[in-house]
Amino acid sequence: MIWILLLTAWAGYINSLALLTFSRTVSHHSGNLTNLGITIGTGDDLWTIIQLLGIVLSYVSGAISSEIIFGRLTRDRRHLSKRLSSILVLIGIGFIGLARGESQLAFIMYFAFLMGGQNGYSLQVYNKLVRTTHMTGYLTDVGILIGQWILEKRTNVPLLCFYIASLMLFVMGAAGAVVVSQIVGWEDHVLLIAIGYIISGLLLAIRTMQVVGLKTSKKEANNQ
């Protein structure tokens, strides 16, 4: 559960960074779709239409990729961890490549792709499917659970606590992006994100090898 909460904080961080830098959200898209409709209605800004379509389609592409890559591996944690560790490193390398370019649209689309991929990965907490990049559903669920308590004097307290913690961490992640942006420049900020992804991937790979080695040693000991 802890890593799910960390993913939520990370989504708040990335979305805040995108909003601060490019004035676009990437973790949720009701606003982008609304702006797309308004821009199409006015019909006077083709570039904004292209940009908004690119963001939304990148998010969908991330979700598609997540299902293709991880969909059949949810029960095999060893292979899942191996694949995820490689992808984290590749994402970090991608950030390094983008840091050398100057395409604003490429950055926004990359952020949206990552958020779509993160949100497309099926996660469960207390037998409930949860998503880690947009909080509107959590706000609704908090209201429903509190309503249940008011009516019936009982509710799923652990799940309610999880939702509240997720909302708080999303906000804290967003605040963290503001603080870091005031300390380092844009390129250095991107490089820090890249390093974070690469280190996370390497640590996950090392941990996976340790777990596999431990299981192998136990099997050999039992066979003897």
Question: 202-224 as b/e, with b when 16 or more CB fall inside 10 Å?
Answer: eebbeebeeeeeeeeeeeeeeee
Tokens of 33: 């779709």
Q: What is the pLDDT of residue 49?
A: 92
Per-residue pLDDT tens over the stretch 78-135: 566 666 677 777 778 787 777 766 677 888 898 898 888 888 876 777 778 888 888 8
Q: What is the pLDDT of residue 79?
A: 63
**Separation between Cα atoms, residue 177 and residue 182, nearest integer Å:** 9
Q: What is the pLDDT of residue 224?
A: 57
Q: What is the pLDDT of residue 121?
A: 75
Tokens of 201: 């991937």
The list of the chain residues with pLDDT below 50 reads 212, 214
Q: What is the pLDDT of residue 218?
A: 53
Q: What is the pLDDT of residue 174?
A: 93
Q: What is the pTM of this model?
A: 0.80
Q: What is the pLDDT of residue 142?
A: 94
Q: What is the pLDDT of residue 139?
A: 94
Cα–Cα nearest to 119, from 35, 2, 4: 4
